[in-house]
Amino acid sequence: MKVGLKVLKFLPLPLWFLALVSITRNPIRFFIDLASFYSFYLMLSVSLNLEYGYTGIPNFGKVMFFAGGAFVTGSLTARLIAPLAGVNSMYLANYKLYNVIVGTQVSTFFAQRADIAMLTFLLMLILGAVVGALLGLVASYPAIRLREDYLAMTLIVTGELLRIIARNYDPLICGTIGVFVPDPFRWLTGLYHDLVRTGVMLGIAFSSWAFVEALVRSPFGRMIRAIRENEVVAEAFGKDVTKVRMQVLMVGSAIAGVAGALYAFYAGTVQADDFMPIRTFVVWVMVILGGAGNNAGAALGALTYLALDRTIVILKRYFTTPFDINNLSYIALGLALVLTLMYRPEGLIPEKPIILKRVRRANKPGR
Amino acid sequence: MKSELDALGVVKKFGGLVALKGVNISVVPSTITMLIGPNGSGKTTLINVISGIYKPDEGKVLLRGKDITGLPPHEVYSLGLVRTFQIPSPFLRLTVLENLMVVAKNQLGEKPISAVFRRRRWMREEEELEEKAFRVMELLHLERLWNRRASELSGGQMKLLEIGRALMSDPSIILMDEPVAGVNPKLAYDIMEYITNVRKELGISFLIVEHRLDIVLDYVDYVYAMHKGEIIARGPPEEVISNPSVVRSYLGG
């Protein structure tokens, strides 16, 4: 009964999509796009939910870890495979100028060697996770002992620092021009290519969702919620708050790093200015909208935001506004945030107590 | 006899304010020791220094002879010293059951990797912990509330939960900051009876800070009186409360 009602509540959502799809020119394309974007954003929102919703870490530097994964993928993939693909080493010597040529040749190589392509893909995801986790450690180390607001400031600043370094230090991702990323799914063609790639991305995204869900439904999850409630008391009751917050930030950042690697492969290019702080705030809106401290909420929040965003992208062809139409998405985002905070501060799906073991207690009083 | 807890010449300054001016106390194992003194005399500061929340500027804190001065609170806790807070501080959005279970030491499921991949192992621990939590709840008459969020409890129930949480970790000594303040007399006596039983059955020592002398004094073995950051009297309860300087510090004049 209860579950049935819950489903009803979200019924308008698929209807909305159907209506939307009917006016798009290419419904399959639309869904593939949406699903691909959803997979990065799901990973970002679920990892921010772990950090903020469950542990209370105000991670305003989310984009940095996402960027870390994207930068390592962008800077290494083509260069790593270039010798195998027989790319002229002259091109590698002047990578900034010739990165598109190198990348294209590596892509062509991937078209013939699916095995190497997939191994590279996997390696980059792992590297993305490692770089994300390390960045999480480095960025938080000086500030994790500080009060929440200072930690938030430190993280937002470090995020910008990383973007500015990438923008100005050419060897990383070719500075302002950005870097071309070869396509590891090039051995597939046409619609099949897009479907498989998006399927893999969604699979990875839902695995991270499941990982975070398993993590919070454990004594670890109970501990991080206790730390969120009162860190002094948690510390007095034996929890090493600094260490636990670092662990959480490393796990969350590793997930964001993988999301960044996926994004780099999906976009086919990595540009430093694609990693502005606004991305962090978008993810925050998703978490607050969906319901902090509830992973289903984080997933729904990401979907709601993307649905809104995509709707605007499609609809803006059909009408004009007195302001730059591209700002409409931000206006809607801000409005959604304000309305949520005013009328439903706990989000679409509020946090619920987690009961780990209830079998024996089924007959206990007070249920 | 070796003492459970010693504070030796503890000095704590906050800027120009000297909150503790070389305090010496010791708690004999399996006894209830009480710390009294007017507001601002440094009792809570002393508790905070002992439990590791503040680092003392001078002096030592020994737990069963082991130097624990300046250790972080979570390490002090792991050595068997637990404290409760003057203002009840349950983890508000956790349930009563979770509040109790979360404080248990060395849980396998608190390691992030094990939490995800060794579920079966820590589930067994969880069952034992849950049994124990229910025993504690039954003692404190909280079992009907096991699934309630702590934020929904009354002030008195929060006090009980605070005590229950302290018991969950099998401590050797519990520092209690005003366990019966703001609690109705009936419940206050119950709490003290309960503390006495725990002391008798489990041999846990208590260091209690409390103003409600009328209720608590009958249950305690030894009393320290503090005033302006110093111990001004020590001894059996009757002796200390009739000490003229203690009376003066409490009543003025």
The string of pLDDT tens digits covering residues A164-203 is 999 998 888 888 888 999 999 999 988 899 999 999 999 9
Q: Is B250 exposed, middle or buried (0-12, 13-18, 19+ CB in 10 A)?
A: middle
Q: Give the mean pLDDT of A53-79.
A: 93
Q: Tell me whether residue A331 is in a domain.
A: yes
CB contact under 8 Å between B94 and A241, yes or no, is: no
β-partners of residue B23 are B10
Q: Tell me whether residue A312 is in a domain.
A: yes
Q: Tell me whether residue A344 is in a domain.
A: yes
Say which DSSP state B106 is in.
Answer: S
Residue A1 has pLDDT above 50, yes or no: no
Q: Tell me whether residue A26 is in a domain.
A: yes
Predicted local confidence at residue A362, as pLDDT: 45
Nearest to B109 by CA among A218, A344, A109, A322: A218
Predicted local confidence at residue A356, as pLDDT: 62
What b/e sequence results for B226-246 when a residue is b if at least 16 CB atoms lie within 10 Å of its CB, and e otherwise?
A: bbebbbbbbeebeebbebeeb
Among candidates A215, A236, A240 on the partner chain, residue whose Cβ is nearest the Cβ of B53: A236
Lowest mean pLDDT among A350-364, B90-104, B136-150, B157-171: A350-364
Q: Give the mean pLDDT of B233-245.
A: 91
Partners of B123 on chain A (C-beta within 8 Å) are 356-357
Predicted local confidence at residue A323, as pLDDT: 76
Predicted local confidence at residue B176, as pLDDT: 92
Whole-angstrom distance, CA of residue B250 vs CA of residue B253: 9
Q: Which of residues 214-233 of A touch B (CB under 8 A)?
A: 214-215, 218-223, 225-226, 229-230, 232-233
Going by pLDDT thresholds of 50, 70 and 90, the confidence category of residue A17 is: low
Nearest to B49 by CA among B16, B79, B19: B19
β-partners of residue B67 are B62
Residue A50 has pLDDT above 80, yes or no: yes
DSSP codes of every residue in A296-357: HHHHHHHHHHHHHHHHHHHHTTT---SS-GGGHHHHHHHHHHHHHHHH-TT-SS------S-
B223 vs A365, which has greater pLDDT? B223
Q: Which of A54, A208, A213, A223 to mutate to test the interface with B (most CBs of B within 10 A)?
A: A223
Among candidates B73, B109, B126 on the partner chain, residue whose Cβ is nearest the Cβ of A236: B73
Q: Which of residues 230-289 of A touch B (CB under 8 A)?
A: 230, 232-241, 247, 251
Q: Tell me whether residue A179 is in a domain.
A: yes
Partners of A351 on chain B (C-beta within 8 Å) are 93
Nearest to A185 by CA among A281, A259, A117: A117
B252/chain A closest Cα distance in angstroms: 35
What b/e sequence results for B182-218 when a residue is b if at least 16 CB atoms lie within 10 Å of its CB, and e otherwise?
A: ebeeeebbbbbebbeebbeeeebbbbbbbbbbebbbe
Lowest mean pLDDT among A111-125, A174-188, A207-221: A174-188
Q: Are A317 and A310 in contact (CB under 8 A)?
A: no
Helix, strand, or coil here: A97? helix
The one-letter code for the residue type at B165 is R
Structure tokens at A3: 């579950």
A343 vs A119, which has greater pLDDT? A119
Contact pairs from chain A to chain B, CB under 8 Å: 124
Lowest mean pLDDT among A241-250, A318-327, B22-31: A318-327
Q: H/E element holding B123? A: helix B119-139
Partners of B125 on chain A (C-beta within 8 Å) are 219
Percent share of chain A, pLDDT over 90: 52
Structure tokens at A59: 């991670």
Whole-angstrom distance, CA of residue A362 vs CA of residue A324: 58
Q: Give the mean pLDDT of B75-102.
A: 92
The pTM assigned to this predicted structure is: 0.89
DSSP codes of every residue in A138-191: HHHTTTTTS-HHHHHHHHHHHHHHHHHHHHH-HHHH-GGG-EE---TTTTS-HH
Domain assignment of residue A91, given as a range = 2-317+324-362
Q: Tell me whether residue A281 is in a domain.
A: yes
A133/chain B closest Cα distance in angstroms: 14
Residue A359 has pLDDT above 60, yes or no: no
Q: Give the mean pLDDT of B1-5.
A: 83
Lowest mean pLDDT among A24-38, A220-234, B122-136, B167-181: A24-38
For tokens 């870490």, name the residue.
Answer: A57
Average per-residue pLDDT for chain A: 86
Lowest mean pLDDT among A90-99, A236-245, B57-66, B152-161: A90-99
* Nearest chain B residue to A210, by CA: B116
CB contact under 8 Å between B74 and A235, yes or no, is: yes
Q: Which of residues 313-352 of A touch B (CB under 8 A)?
A: 351
A354/chain B closest Cα distance in angstroms: 8
Number of domains in chain A: 1
Percent share of chain B, pLDDT over 90: 61
Helix, strand, or coil here: B246? helix
Q: H/E element holding A222? A: helix A219-229
Q: Tell me whether residue A367 is in a domain.
A: no
Q: Which of residues 147-176 of B touch A (CB under 8 A)?
A: 147-149, 165, 169
Q: Give the mean pLDDT of A49-78.
A: 94
Structure tokens at A164: 């500015």
Residue A358 has pLDDT above 60, yes or no: no
For tokens 């200390």, name the residue.
Answer: B240
Lowest mean pLDDT among A143-147, B37-41, B183-187: A143-147
The one-letter code for the residue type at B154 is S
Q: Tell me whether residue A302 is in a domain.
A: yes
Predicted local confidence at residue A243, as pLDDT: 92
Cα–Cα distances in angstroms (integers) from residue B4 to residues B20, B24, B68, B203, in the given order: 21, 14, 12, 11
The one-letter code for the residue type at A290 is G
Lowest mean pLDDT among A2-11, A68-77, A137-146, B106-115: A2-11
Whole-angstrom distance, CA of residue A289 vs CA of residue A303: 10
Average per-residue pLDDT for chain B: 90
* pLDDT, tens digit, 9 for 90 and up, residues A257-306: 999 999 999 999 999 999 999 899 999 999 998 888 899 999 999 998 88
Q: Give the mean pLDDT of A65-81.
A: 94
Partners of A353 on chain B (C-beta within 8 Å) are 93-95, 98, 147, 149
